[in-house]
Amino acid sequence: MKRVARVEFLFEFLRVILGLAIAYLFTLLAIVFVAENPLEAVREFAIGPFLTTRRFGQIMGKFIPYLISGCGMCFIYACGRFNLIGEGIVNFAPCIAALALFGTGGLMMNLPLPLNLLILLVICAVVGGAVASVPAFCRETLGGNETVVSIIMNYMLLYLSMYLLKRFLSDKSQSFLCSKPFPDNAQFHSLFANSNFHSGIYISAICFIIACVVFYRTGIGQKIRISEANVSFAQYSGIRSIAAMYAAQIIGGVFMGIAGCVDVFGLYTRYQYSALTNIGMDGLIVAVIARKKPFFIPFAAFVLAYIRTSAVVLNLATSIPYEFVNMMQAVLILFVAAQGFLEKPKNRIIFRISREIEAQKKEGV
């Protein structure tokens, strides 16, 4: 059976790598067909994001929240729940943090940067966890559908955030809806050349390490993984699987809150979200590409950040629209998520091995 395990691992790996290669080739071909100057377009798409510091900064600016939201979605998705509340949390949690920042009578204005950032992160994490527990409660205790509840809640949280922004935070001197500028001691500062690559990367790295440790090394991580793998077995083993499901969704919400915090206080100088950001959904895409394993999240987050930045670069350098490159993302997910991809050759090899084992057994008898 070890041979079967090896074949399965090999094909699992091949599925991601081949999926990526096929999606990439497919996109390059499509660009060649639609671009006025195919060579230039392919060059811009393939290596454009790495050609200037600013563009690389854009990749990293996207990579930072993707890494955190991907880790969060890993927990939610790994326990078999499609709680999409992350989308609303990314809008709502930093809004509450901004309220605290501006509403504490200048208290936070004078605190040192690390302490201020820590407070903002904690507020966002707590709000994220609390908000995520609502769809979890609807599912685990009331037996509702967490996907429907979370999608509805995302819009409620968006409009609630906009109300709070208009009512308590808005800067009337600006021509668009935004808060007053964040003070210097409440921002993740750019790491080089004023690019989008900001110090939130340290938070991402810490979040990634925490996610891996919680997922693989703690009792609750083990319980979440067991509950996802077989809930009847979890209950038989004495694991309170409902508690594990709650924990997974709340932990996911905490990560989402942190992702929102790092994005708002890293990329912007004011709170100015007036639409859903898609960071929550992107987190789900990252988790799908990483096959629910936090260990692969940095790779998956970087791939997605690269695709998104390439799309922007291509759009600016040629006449090809941004949405066009999203096809690559769709093709990639199709191949990675499709269980049937490479299933036939894999089964052929496994069937052959099984027959050989059976023949050996017969000979042994």
Partner 1 sequence: MLSLSAVQWEGLYMSKEILRMEGITKIYSNGFMANKDVSFSINSGEIHALIGENGAGKTTLMKILFGLEVCQSGTIYMNGEPTKIMNPLDAIAKGVGMVHQHFMQMPDLTVAENIILGIEPGRYGLYNGKKAVEMTLEASAKYRLDVNPNDLIRNISVGQKQKVELLKALIRGAKILILDEPTAVLTPQETRKLFEQLSFLKESGYAVVFISHKLEEIMEICDRVTVLRHGRVAGYGEIKDLDELKLSNMIVGRDVVLEIEKSRAERGASILRVEHLNYLDDNGKAVISGLSMGIRSGEIVGIAGVEGNGQTELSEIITGMRRATEGSVSINGSEISHRSIRKIRDLGVAHISEDRMKYGCAAELSIRDNIASVYLDRKEFRSGLFVNKKKINKFVEQCIKDFEISCGDGSEAIRMLSGGNIQKVIVAREFCCGANLIVANQPTRGIDVGTSDLIRRQIIKQSREKGIGVLLISSDLNEVLEVSDRLLIMKDGEIVAQFMDPKSVTDDMLGEYMLGIKHMTTEEMGDLF
Contact status: 12 vs partner 1 (CB under 8 A): no
Binding mask 288-327 for partner 1 (x = CB under 8 A): ----------------------------------------
Asked if residue 346 lies in contact with residue 11, where contact means CB atoms within 8 angstroms, the answer is: yes
Neighbours of 228 (CB within 10 A): 20
Task: Concatenate the DSSP letters of all residues of 55-110 into one string.
Answer: HHHHHHHHHHHHHHHHHHHHHHHHTT----THHHHHHHHHHHHHHHHHHSTTTGGG
CB closer to partner 1, 1 vs 39:
1
Q: With CB under 8 A as the contact rule, which of the stretches 25-33, 169-177, 267-275, 347-355 interacts with partner 1? A: 347-355
- CB of 153 vs partner 1, minimal distance in Å: 29
CB closer to partner 1, 88 vs 129:
129
Tokens 């994490």, residue located = 125
- CB of 52 vs partner 1, minimal distance in Å: 44
Which backbone phi and psi does 79 adopt, to 5 degrees?
A: -95, 10
CB closer to partner 1, 3 vs 43:
3
Q: How large is the angle between the packed helices 200-217 and 241-267, nearest 10 degrees? A: 170
Q: How many residues bind partner 1 (CB under 8 A)?
A: 34
Neighbours of 159 (CB within 10 A): 12
Residues 210-249 that bind partner 1 (CB under 8 A): 213, 217-220, 222-223, 225-226, 229-230, 232-240
Nearest by Cα to 252 from 122, 88, 132: 132
Q: Which residues contact 12 (CB under 8 A, 6 or more apart)?
A: 291
- CB of 226 vs partner 1, minimal distance in Å: 6
- CB of 2 vs partner 1, minimal distance in Å: 6
Nearest by Cα to 50 from 325, 305, 262: 305
Residues 264-293 that bind partner 1 (CB under 8 A): none
- Structure tokens, 267: 């990329």
Binding residue for partner 1, selected from 34, 130, 317, 350, defined by CB under 8 A? 350
Cα distances from 286 to residues 60, 64, 73, 103, 331, in angstroms, run 15, 12, 8, 35, 14
Cα distances from 277 to residues 14, 66, 124, 241, in angstroms, run 32, 12, 16, 32
CB closer to partner 1, 34 vs 349:
349
Binding residue for partner 1, selected from 104, 343, 345, 360, defined by CB under 8 A? 343
- CB of 71 vs partner 1, minimal distance in Å: 17
Q: With CB under 8 A as the contact rule, which of the stretches 47-55, 99-107, 312-320, 339-347 interacts with partner 1? A: 339-347
Contact status: 353 vs partner 1 (CB under 8 A): yes
Longest dimension (CA), the chain: 88
CB closer to partner 1, 197 vs 215:
215
Binding mask 183-202 for partner 1 (x = CB under 8 A): --------------------
Tokens 């050759």, residue located = 345
Task: Report the interface residues with partner 1, using CB under 8 A.
Answer: 1-2, 4-5, 213, 217-220, 222-223, 225-226, 229-230, 232-240, 343, 346-347, 350-351, 353-355, 357-358
